[in-house]
């Protein structure tokens, strides 16, 4: 019988060591927990039931056949630590250390073969502890691992569920804030669109403004919109008076001749009559050139008429050295067949001739767009917005010049000569548009978005 001792941090690892070292046939004789916290197991191989139960921790000393005899501490300690087949020799050495003589017993063999007698002990039955099967140990380990994993997985699932709930609450909060913001923004934009519509602006221009301006619900939102609208309006840079050769074109009754008289009068008042000439190509109306001749007599400037017997380029060449040459053209309906001849004349004119289209602010937006489309054949250099004083809304004309990209050169707002005309300025035009809308439209009262 072989006896071995095993130590491990816990019972499961100790049993595994016994099973790996001794095999499934081993018998556990004893087990105890050491002061170090480890588990110690004493196991036997080829167990025959002869070992005493006293081999466990705290067992009694062996009894000899001659009476009760206690072993020394060294003998007990040595026996407990490593009990095996040669324990008699260890007991003998322990007795010699105490200075006692060992007793020898005559055996049944001849006297010449004397051996140390084998002491008799009182044995107690030892109930062998069967080693658990390897399959049972592995099953227990698997079940324990699964239990730990299930516990960890359940905790992870609870953590994930808590995090998902927090994310959901955050998303709902942001969604509610976004909905409130969108609702407030929608209200602000709705009110702004109503007021832009009251100005007479087109949906296209109003949408561009809404896309470019982020309304904050403050009192200055309306002023910001108007300032941005002014930036949209194309105007002639500098706003100074024109010089050189300028032709005024447009339909009948838009104020071409009156605008020419105002500009000529301002120039004469500043620089004198020298260097100014008035030219008319209107031979279709009876006595059409008489109004221009009247301006010439008053201002003391020459007046030239271009008819079928003369050529516009020849007249322009004649006065090429003049500082200001103003050309008045025939006013015609865009659907008039004679308009083509007027446009052809302008196309053939000298390149130095600037062409301005006179647009009355009293016309509807679609009418103005049609006029711009027809006269764009001659490569317009800009426009004059006339009759601002007679219009109930300036938004239509403003929308057309923005959408067509046609620069505004002059603003004419009355019949007085030479007062009622001035170089165009975008902010002045927007102020005039707001004033006109406030005067004719009761929707304009308090323009505060924050209220």
Q: What ranges do the domains of the chain cover?
A: 2-132, 138-224, 233-440
Residue 168 backbone zone (phi > 0: left; psi -120 to 50: alpha; other: beta) = alpha
2/21 Cα distance (integer angstroms):
12
**What pLDDT digit, counting tens, does each position of 43-98 carry?**
887 766 655 544 444 333 333 332 333 333 333 333 334 444 344 455 556 555 55
Residue 435 backbone zone (phi > 0: left; psi -120 to 50: alpha; other: beta) = alpha
Which architecture does CATH list for 233-440? 3-Layer(aba) Sandwich (3.40)
Whether 430 contacts 230, CB under 8 Å? yes
49/333 Cα distance (integer angstroms):
134
Instruction: Please report the DSSP string for 285-306 in residue order.
Output: STTTTHHHHHHHHHHT--EEE-
pTM: 0.58
137: exposed, middle or buried (Cβ count in 10 Å: 0-12, 13-18, 19+)? middle
4: exposed, middle or buried (Cβ count in 10 Å: 0-12, 13-18, 19+)? middle
CB atoms within 10 A of CB 289: 22
Q: Virtual CA dihedral for 177, 180, 182, 188, nearest 10 degrees?
A: -140
89/85 Cα distance (integer angstroms):
9
Q: How many CA atoms lie within 13 A of 382 on its CB side?
A: 20
Q: What is the pLDDT of residue 95?
A: 52
Tokens 């006029």 correspond to 371
292: exposed, middle or buried (Cβ count in 10 Å: 0-12, 13-18, 19+)? buried
Give the three-class secondary structure for 259: helix
444/271 Cα distance (integer angstroms):
44
**pLDDT digit string (tens) for the chain, length 451 residues:** 778 888 998 888 888 888 888 777 778 888 888 988 889 988 887 766 655 544 444 333 333 332 333 333 333 333 334 444 344 455 556 555 555 443 443 434 444 444 444 444 443 444 444 555 556 666 666 777 777 777 777 888 888 888 888 888 888 777 766 565 566 666 767 787 888 888 888 889 888 888 887 776 677 778 888 888 899 899 986 556 678 899 999 988 888 999 999 999 999 998 888 889 999 987 776 666 788 888 899 999 999 888 877 788 988 999 989 999 999 988 887 777 778 888 888 888 888 899 999 999 999 999 999 999 999 888 899 999 999 988 888 989 999 999 999 999 999 988 888 888 989 999 999 999 998 888 876 544 444 443 3
């Amino acid at each position: 019988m072989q006896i071995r001792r095993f130590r491990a941090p816990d019972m499961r690892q100790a049993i595994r060591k016994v099973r790996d070292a001794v095999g499934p046939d081993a018998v556990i004789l004893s087990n105890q927990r050491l002061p170090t916290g480890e588990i110690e197991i004493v196991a036997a191989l080829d167990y025959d039931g002869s070992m005493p139960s006293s081999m466990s921790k705290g067992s009694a000393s062996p009894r000899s056949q001659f009476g009760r005899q206690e072993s020394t501490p060294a003998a007990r300690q040595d026996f407990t630590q490593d009990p095996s087949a040669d324990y008699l020799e260890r007991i003998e050495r322990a007795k010699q250390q105490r200075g006692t003589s060992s007793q020898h017993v005559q055996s049944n063999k001849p006297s010449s073969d004397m051996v140390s007698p084998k002491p008799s002990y009182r044995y107690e039955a030892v109930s062998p502890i069967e080693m658990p099967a390897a399959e049972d140990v592995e099953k227990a380990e698997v079940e324990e691992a699964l239990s730990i994993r299930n516990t960890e997985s359940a905790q992870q699932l609870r953590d994930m569920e808590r995090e998902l709930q927090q994310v959901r609450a955050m998303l709902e909060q942001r969604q509610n804030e976004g909905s409130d913001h969108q609702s407030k923004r929608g209200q602000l934009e709705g009110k702004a669109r109503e007021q832009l519509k009251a100005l007479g602006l087109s949906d296209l221009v109003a949408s561009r403004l809404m896309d470019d301006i982020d309304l904050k619900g403050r009192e200055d939102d309306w002023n910001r919109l108007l300032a941005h609208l002014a930036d949209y309006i194309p105007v002639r840079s500098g706003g100074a008076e024109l010089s050189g050769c300028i032709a005024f074109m447009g339909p009948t009754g838009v104020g071409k001749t009156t605008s020419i008289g105002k500009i000529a009068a301002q120039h004469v008042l500043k620089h004198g009559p020298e260097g100014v000439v008035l030219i008319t190509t209107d031979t279709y109306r009876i006595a059409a050139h008489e109004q221009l001749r009247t301006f010439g007599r008053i201002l003391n400037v020459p007046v030239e008429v271009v008819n079928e017997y003369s050529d516009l380029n020849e007249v322009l060449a004649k006065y090429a050295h003049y500082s200001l040459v103003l050309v008045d053209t025939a006013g015609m309906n865009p659907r008039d067949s004679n308009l083509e001849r007027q446009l052809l004349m302008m196309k053939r004119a000298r390149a130095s001739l600037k062409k301005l289209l006179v647009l009355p602010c009293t016309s509807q937006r679609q009418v103005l767009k049609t006029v711009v489309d027809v006269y764009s054949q001659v490569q317009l250099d800009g426009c004059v917005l006339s009759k601002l004083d007679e219009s109930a809304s300036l938004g239509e004309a403003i929308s057309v010049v923005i959408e067509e990209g046609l620069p505004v050169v002059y603003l004419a707002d009355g019949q007085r000569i030479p007062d009622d005309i001035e170089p165009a300025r975008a902010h002045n035009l927007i102020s005039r548009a707001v004033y006109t809308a406030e005067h004719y439209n009761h929707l304009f009262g308090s323009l505060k978005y924050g209220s």
